[in-house]
Amino acid sequence: MTSNCNRGSYIQRGELKLLTGNSNRKLAESVAKHLGVELTEADIEKFKDGEISIKINESIRGKDVFIMQPTSNPTNDNLMELLIMIDACRRASAGYVNAIIPYYGYARQDRKTRGREPITAKLVANLLTVAGADRVITMDLHAGQIQGYFDIPVDHFSAIRHLSTHFKDFAYDRPDEFVVVSPDLGGVRRAREFADYLKLPIAIIEKRRPKPNVSEVMSVIGDFKGKHAIIVDDMIDTAVTITNAGDFLINSGAKDVYLVATHGVFSGDAIDKINKSNVKEVVITDTIALDENKKIDKITQMSIAPLLSEAIHRINTYESISGLFVDGR
């Protein structure tokens, strides 16, 4: 889906300006190219003590400003960059300040499960709002209810439909040969959406987590033996959980295993784990920049720039964006 800003007459809510931090400049450049605009010039530097210094080098007074910044590793630096850019735009009298956060960090602590725990997903929502953001645009939140933590509009897009197109040519409508697998009970809806696009059945892995980033597969609900299994998740972090699930499926009778996720976090030795696992292919998007040392043959990266550029264009021109959501929601 490619944006086309020359569709005829439309009303802009302000001249569109696109800013980016250091987190994923390549994605921002791709979005700018789809929109047919140049990235707004800005200097992002650090003082000797590590504090972030930002200066926007163009007038943004009265403009419709979109700031692109996934809050991925280094999470704290990227989050502070985003907050400072929002503050700079607000103090420069921007007409609207829109925070585009393809990957929303601190989302995994979205509720209290034990005493004396923080809810960091809500804390970040508060920080963004207080900094001066008018709107947040994000992709595949770890938990959809995080949208409710904001008192400003949130456009929550999903890459599930886009990711499913990678399998369209060889998996579509072949339920006897392929199965979509949810890695846990909480991901069933995501797996169901992915499976519906390809007209495939689903299976569900039942697991337990004795501690963070550690999981144990207890059983699998559904038929997967003798089939190609496609495990669908929102992110791959340390890759321990998802590669263990893949190895379990292979050892229990699956033909082979594909991993699909919107966000390729790949912390620690995740790439090494993927390389050593029985996983055939890992398909992710470019919400998070992929370092050169993490680009291996098993990983396929699909761009979300067309989707984000279309969303930006429609927001800027007061057009409906409902058709860009999963199933038109």
pLDDT at 327 over 50: no
Question: Domain map of the chain by residue range?
Answer: 16-157+306-317, 160-297
Asked if 207 is an active-site residue, the reply is: yes
- pTM score, two decimals? 0.92
Nearest by Cα to 66 from 96, 91, 33, 25? 96
**Annotation-wise, does 162 bind a ligand?**
no
pLDDT at 192 over 60: yes
pLDDT at 239 over 70: yes
Band of the pLDDT at 226, cuts 50, 70, 90? very high
**Annotation-wise, does 286 bind a ligand?**
no
Kindly name the residue from 48, 55, 112, 207 that is annotated as catalytic.
207
pLDDT of residue 212: 62
Please give the C-alpha separations between residue 251 and each of 194, 275, 277, 278, in angstroms, as whole numbers.
24, 17, 12, 9
pLDDT of residue 45: 95
**Annotation-wise, does 12 bind a ligand?**
no
| 65-92: average pLDDT | 98
Buried b (16+ CB within 10 A) or exposed e, 7-26: eeeeeeeeebbbbbbebbee
**Annotation-wise, does 233 bind a ligand?**
yes
